[in-house]
Chain A
Amino acid sequence: MPLDLTFTPQQQALRAEVRAWMTAHVPRTPLATLEGEAGFAQHRQWERTLASGNWGMITWPREYGGRGANLIEWLIFEEEYYRANAPLRVNQNGIFLLGPTLMEFGTAQQKARFLPRMAAGEEIWAQAWSEPQAGSDLAGIRATAQREGDQYVLRGHKIWSSRAAFADWCFGIFRTDPASGRHNGLTFMLVPLRQPGVRVRGIRQIHGEPGFAEIFFEEARVPVANRLGEEGQGWHIAMATAGFERGLMLRSPARFQAAAQRLAHLWRSHATQADPALAAQVAQAWMDAEAYALNTYRTASRLMAGGTIGVEASLNKIFWSELDLQLHGTAMRLLGAHAALRAQAPDVVQDAGWLEGYIFSLAGPIYAGTNEIQRNVIAERLLGLPRG
């Protein structure tokens, strides 16, 4: 049936099942931030708990630790996940980005080797894209992978690598053809971080924790079996991964709907002293979260009918990152003098995490490809404007 926006009994049953499980298992007290070492370990433990209920990544086939769920079911899962205020996913690089990439480009052996451990939270993944001289201009990558027998020898310097400070593995692209330039001659590699020849140095972010890191590859060796796709196919595969990142899964709408709900509560507790104009901002945050949810259901429906997600991913990325910023910015204005209180301050607004949320939202328009780059992509590839 066309434009049918109702859930089937099976979908409602799944919702009830997730809700019951989350009620029973979500930690009562919030975990420490996953940007720090202690919090990272707690979040890793939570991934194992999730996996024990077979909730690691429900859209994957059963053989890889999933439930064979479709995208609508995944959205229902996410709604219940955030409704229960469950912890952030420390393995999102794995389950949301590399997972789908492996599904598309990996060999049977690679899928069997990596996916189940990803779903089970046993191996946590970091990204290794950017380099000091290759940020928005990612094709300027200089790190190399030189073939020696059945191994590659990695040399180079990656930076701004999310989760790398405490993760087990990283994925990224390296130049396998030293004579190549730009988008050619790049190869997608899967690399263990805790091995000789790999040095990880955490970089403190503005909140004070080492949320990302730089990685030095000093003749680190990886087997040829860890190459995803063919030599020279790296750029193509990386763009697919980036599409997953900006597209459907990285930021599920439920996250923003839960935050908008908290914002409305915050408004109610401040309404008597607040600038009345902020009510419009609160309503806008709710509307944008809903619009993002609706568009995600629309995209999921399109994909389930055989469509693909391409340039639209850039529209998504701009929308959710700006919505997050607007939402948290409104909370900061509502909080006034309380806004800058850190979590341990005696008078902080409890259980809210508005300051941490605001700081995190500032990164949204930057990571996963800056919003300026996304606007270029939309203009050139969706609207058909000429290249500069």
Chain B
Amino acid sequence: MDFNFSEEQRMMAGALRELAADLSSGERLRAIYDGTDSADRQRWDALAELGLFSVLAPQGSGGMSLTDSDFILLAEEAGHAALPVPLCEQAGVAVPLLAELAGGAADSGTAAALAEALQAAASGASRVAVAHPINPFTLAPADPTHWLVCNADTVRLLEAREVKAVPEPTADAGRLLYRLEAPLQQHGVTVRGAAAAAAAARAAQRGALYAAAQSVGVAQRLTDIAVSYACERVQFGKPIGAYQAIKHHLANVQVKLEFARPVVYAAATRVADPDAGAQAAVSHAALAAAAAADLAARTAIQVHGAMGYSWEVDLHFYMKRAWALAGSWGAHSFHARRIQALVCGGELTLGPGQTFE
């Protein structure tokens, strides 16, 4: 039992923070929001160069063979930066999904195709969108090369030209969402049956986990911005952060945030398990992190006053990311209903000593 992250895990997160400060600076986010950015490929390649897409891929596929516990801090950093690249969907969802499907494929043709797709995704050579019934809209990288389309008991790998996707512009310009047109053409590589269903379920678990980690990151960013503003802005002769009304709002955010963090980290250690405990852990992470991000966003804009309501202050980029994350991979209602069923329905063993069971 050791809840500490290793030096390597923290260093990897630190490297992403440094890179993201540049790739996802306020200036660059502003350009994306204003439609004057053209650096999508440059950002993608920079993340690929750091090896970030390959963290969860097996060594044989050019990956680092690391675990969700190793990726979780990276996802947090992606949220902290409001990274305008779907790093978590590619590296945290698509890559492990492809690895699982390739490992369990029944015929050699399918296995080879999936292995090839895995290698390409892990290196960043391909850009994969993962469509899942839990998401009415699919987050895709700019100019995607492939789509992984999950359904109840099939997962299909398609090339981008085999998919008709309708853009759905959202408040967060750093995330490109699409609605897939149904029915899909009968193309691509398809995995069916129990293996596909299990893999699709795990993909949704990972999607929700990494959305939660990003929410924690964005909540921390919003809090940092609000604290720094409260130290600078002077009213009635004092920085507004000297007043208890402001202090208590910000302290409440910090409490929520600090108690969401370990929930997210613990969920990372069991996200791949198919049991009720893992489902509860992920839904708990999703709800706690979204609640922290929501409170952080509302507090940050209140602390900023009218300034926070203006386009020219960066605050809204992070607030919009918090909204976007709250609606992805099972929004509030999905996770709240799932956890209520588990806790109130008696399916989950409750009580002391069950936390890690």
Contact = CB atoms under 8 A, between A and B. Distances in A.
B336 A283 contact: yes
Contacts of A318: 251, 255
B27 interface: no
Interface stretch (B37-45, B152-160, B162-170, B259-267): B259-267
Contact of B356 (A6, A280, A312): A6
A268 B344 contact: yes
A271 B340 CA distance: 12
A315 B258 contact: yes
Interface in A20-39: none
Contacts of A82: 352
Q: Is the interface of B mostly helix, strand, loop or mixed?
A: helix
Interface in A312-370: 312, 315, 318-319
Contact of B238 (A72, A280, A386): A386
A319 B355 contact: no
Contacts of A383: 223, 227, 250-251, 254
A380 interface: yes
B352 A79 contact: yes
Interface stretch (A181-189, A200-208, A258-266): A258-266
Given A78-B352, A282-B344, A312 B241 contact: no
Query: Which of A260, A286, A305 has the most B CB atoms < 10 Å from its CB?
Result: A286
Interface stretch (B3-11, B114-122, B320-328): B3-11
B230 to A, nearest CB: 6
A139 interface: no
Contacts of A6: 1, 356
A388 B248 CA distance: 12
- Which 5 A-B residue pairs are closest in the complex by CB-CB distance? A2-B6, A379-B247, A254-B352, A301-B3, A385-B241
B238 to A, nearest CB: 7
Contact of A1 (B2, B223, B261, B263): B2
9 contacts: A5-B3, A257-B350, A286-B343, A287-B288, A290-B284, A291-B288, A378-B254, A379-B251, A385-B227
B3 A385 contact: no
Given A1-B2, A3-B3, A287-B287, A378 B255 contact: yes
B353 A254 contact: yes
Q: Is the interface of A mostly helix, strand, loop or mixed?
A: helix
Contact count band on B: 35 or more
B339 interface: yes
A378 B251 contact: yes
Contacts of B242: 385-388
B339 A283 contact: yes
A382 B254 contact: yes
Contacts of A1: 2
B241 to A, nearest CB: 4
B2 A2 contact: yes
Interface in A223-271: 253-254, 257-258, 260-261, 264, 267-268, 271
A294 B288 CA distance: 13
Interface string A291-306: 1111101101110010
Query: Which of B8, B340, B352 has the most A CB atoms < 10 Å from its CB?
Result: B352
A238 B255 CA distance: 24
A372 B352 CA distance: 30
Contacts of A272: none
B255 A297 contact: no
Given A2-B4, A253-B352, 5 more contacts: A257-B350, A297-B1, A315-B258, A379-B251, A383-B254
B278 interface: no
A307 B287 CA distance: 29
B353 A291 contact: no
Contact of B284 (A72, A76, A287, A300): A287
Interface stretch (A7-15, A107-115, A124-132, A159-167): A7-15
Contacts of A293: 355
Contacts of B227: 383-385
A2 B7 CA distance: 9
A279 interface: yes
A258 B352 contact: yes
A80 B259 contact: no
Query: Which of A258, A295, A382 has the most B CB atoms < 10 Å from its CB?
Result: A295
A261 B351 contact: yes
A375 interface: yes
Interface of A: 1-8, 11, 15, 72, 76, 78-80, 82-83, 253-254, 257-258, 260-261, 264, 267-268, 271, 279-280, 282-283, 286-288, 290-295, 297-298, 300-302, 305, 312, 315, 318-319, 372, 374-376, 378-380, 382-388
B72 to A, nearest CB: 8
B309 interface: no
B247 A291 contact: no
Contacts of B343: 264, 282-283, 286
Contacts of A294: 3, 262-263, 265-266, 355
B176 interface: no
Nearest to B351: A261
B231 interface: yes
Contact of A11 (B1, B252, B261, B268): B1
A290 B339 CA distance: 13
Interface string B323-357: 00000000000001001100110100011111110
Nearest to A302: B4
Contacts of B33: none
A101 B241 CA distance: 34
A15 B354 CA distance: 12
